[in-house]
Amino acid sequence: MDLIKKIGNRSAKIGVIGLGYVGLPLIIEFVKKGFSVTGFDIDRTKVDFLNAGKSYIKHIDITPLTGRGQGAKGKGLQTKAASSSAASHSKIKQPATRNPQPVFTATTDFSLLKNMDCILICVPTPLSKNREPDMTYVFNTTKTIAQYLKKGQLIILESTTYPGTTDEDMRAILEKTGLKAGKDFLLAFSPEREDPANKDFSLRTVPKVVGGYTRACLRAAQALYDTIVIKTVPVSSTKVAEATKLLENIYRSINIALVNELKILFDRMGINIWEVIEAAKTKPFGFQPFYPGPGLGGHCIPLDPFYLSWKAHEYEFSTKFIELAGEINTSMPDYVVSKVMKALNDVGKPIKGAKILILGLAYKANIDDDRESPSYRLIEKLEELGAQVRYNDPYIPVIRKSREYAKYAGRKSVKISGNYDCILIATAHDEYKDIDFKSFNIPIVDTRAVVKGKSKLFYSA
């Protein structure tokens, strides 16, 4: 049966590789629309959690995956939600004949890829220690897919990367099997546009950019995404789709760098940057507000600009604007630490031996996502100076093991109190906004404009 027809009647089997912040929302939407989905991951803990009907990401509700599932036995989590939610939006194409029993199963057995009709790759694309793209996860995943590749399969990369990854690097790996992209199998790129815990937009409501290696590849990928999103945006190639995601995040990186630089300048001038931004955003045209912080966090903005800068060297081109923004943003933790040192000095305390409480480990408010969080860099820098650092985060009770900061794994969130020499606010969780910081009578360094009012012990950073 033609793949597009199988997608239309929901008989196409979907495989999603990577069960994190990108892969899990995709799985939920496909199951809700009536597909049987298999989630693949090398992390046994994630697989066991999902097969037991539990979410390991607090803001992601996996109720659509549980239904009458068989849970921990790993036989698949059946869902009742698919039939009702699939018809919830008239713009999303509905199947002529619905798959009668959509099922979700998580597994570490990648040999099951041979049973999939569509395979979506949602693995990390971090940077190396030298700030160069680390494509290990994408290329190793592609090599694994190649072991089980069969005619007619659709392979889609969602991980953010440099232009050329899909139709050059991945295609070369997959075509070593003897199968040809666009003829024997289909190849496409569609960048994820996740914004964790965003209450205004979800995966379903954010337009999906799609680029295919050939027109046939594009048609199949677009048909697949048309089932779960309100609007798809087809573009002429995978390179255009890859470049689109980079432009989106570079735009944000540069504008955040601008307000971070202005924050430092305005601080010296005695001007509150937050008040300036609030006033400026009343202009109904020509201005979009961006906000300063202690450094960039999340998996996109701190990393993606460097992917394009690295690729630009292949074309003997220097991305000066992008690199300057990167320098400013990565220097912000140093600025914050200098503010902490000043705050302590003003009350006659040295940084060495000082007890400091950092509020917020997540990179943004009201989520448990600590990927690339500047809080880790702040902890590291303060401890290098001899400070005793603890943290509080209601969303991250225990620090999980990570690639870059494995040394902090196992540390636990502590209670907020005034029994410290200084409190550093790094994340604007709602839980912090009603705290009477004045009652602590210690220096408060605020990087997120959480504290309202002025006090000689309050420091904006």
Instruction: Give the residue among 182, 232, 183, 181 at the shortest CA–CA distance from 206.
Output: 232
Residue 445 confidence (pLDDT) = 97
> CA 102 to CA 7: how far, in whole Å?
13
Q: Is the pLDDT of residue 71 over 70?
A: no
The mean pLDDT of the chain is: 90
Q: Is the pLDDT of residue 399 over 50?
A: yes
The residue from 118, 122, 217, 300 that is catalytic is: 300
What are the structural domains of the chain? 3-236 (3.40.50.720), 251-460 (3.40.50.720)
Q: Residue 276 has what DSSP assignment?
A: H
Residue 386 confidence (pLDDT) = 98
- Residues 313-335: what's their mean pLDDT? 93
With cut-offs at 50, 70 and 90, classify the pLDDT of residue 93: low
Tens of pLDDT along 5-42?
999 999 999 999 999 999 999 999 999 999 999 999 99
Residue 94 confidence (pLDDT) = 52
Q: Are strands 13-17 and 36-40 parallel, antiparallel or unpaired?
A: parallel
Dig out the tokens for 421 from the structure: 């020499």
Q: Is the pLDDT of residue 222 over 60?
A: yes
Please confirm, yes or no, whether 300 is among the known catalytic residues. yes
Residue 90 confidence (pLDDT) = 36
- Residues 371-387: what's their mean pLDDT? 96
With cut-offs at 50, 70 and 90, classify the pLDDT of residue 1: low
**Mean pLDDT: which of 125-134, 178-187, 320-329 is highest?**
178-187
Instruction: Identify the bridge partners of residue 17 per DSSP, sorted by sequence position.
Output: 40, 121
> CA 258 to CA 254: how far, in whole Å?
6
Q: What is the value of pTM for the model shown?
A: 0.88
Tens of pLDDT along 113-149?
999 999 999 999 988 877 789 999 999 999 999 999 9
Count Cβ atoms within 10 A of the Cβ of residue 126 and give its class: 0-12 exposed, 13-18 middle, 19 or more buried.
middle
Rounded to 10 degrees, the C-alpha dihedral 56/59/63/66 comes to -10
Instruction: Give the residue among 408, 373, 365 at the shortest CA–CA distance from 303.
Output: 373
- List Cβ neighbours of 210 (8 Å cut-off, separation of 6 or more): 188, 189, 190, 218, 221, 222, 225, 232, 233, 234, 235, 241
User: Cα–Cα–Cα angle for 144, 148, 150, nearest 5°?
Assistant: 135
Dig out the tokens for 137 from the structure: 């996860």
With cut-offs at 50, 70 and 90, classify the pLDDT of residue 92: very low
Q: Is the pLDDT of residue 81 over 50?
A: no
Residue 131 confidence (pLDDT) = 79
> CA 76 to CA 107: how far, in whole Å?
10
DSSP H or E stretch at residue 327: helix 320-346
- Residues 400-412: what's their mean pLDDT? 88
Residue 288 confidence (pLDDT) = 96
Q: Which of 80-84, 90-94, 311-315 is predicted least confidently?
A: 80-84
Q: Is the pLDDT of residue 183 over 60?
A: yes
Task: Specify the long-range contacts of residues 54-59, CB closer than 8 Å, at least 24 apart.
Answer: 55/24, 57/20, 57/21, 57/24, 57/368, 57/369, 58/367, 58/368, 58/395, 59/196, 59/197, 59/366, 59/367, 59/368
Residue 95 confidence (pLDDT) = 56
CB of 210 closer than 8 Å to CB of 154: no
> CA 139 to CA 162: how far, in whole Å?
13
Q: Is the pLDDT of residue 99 over 70?
A: no
Tens of pLDDT along 265-318?
999 999 999 999 999 999 999 999 999 999 987 766 778 788 899 999 899 999
In the chain, the percentage of residues whose pLDDT exceeds 90 is 78
Which of the two residues, 85 and 59, has the higher pLDDT score? 59
- Residues 179-189: what's their mean pLDDT? 98
Which of the two residues, 387 and 199, has the higher pLDDT score? 387
Q: Is the pLDDT of residue 86 over 70?
A: no
DSSP codes of every residue in 52-76 = TT--SSTT---HHHHTT--GGG-S-
Q: Which residue blocks in 102-237 are alpha helix, DSSP H? A: 136-148, 171-175, 215-226
Which of the two residues, 101 and 361, has the higher pLDDT score? 361
Q: Is the pLDDT of residue 77 over 80?
A: no
Q: Is the pLDDT of residue 444 over 50?
A: yes
CB of 62 closer than 8 Å to CB of 23: no
Q: Is the pLDDT of residue 74 over 70?
A: no
- Residues 389-413: what's their mean pLDDT? 92
Dig out the tokens for 204 from the structure: 């379903």
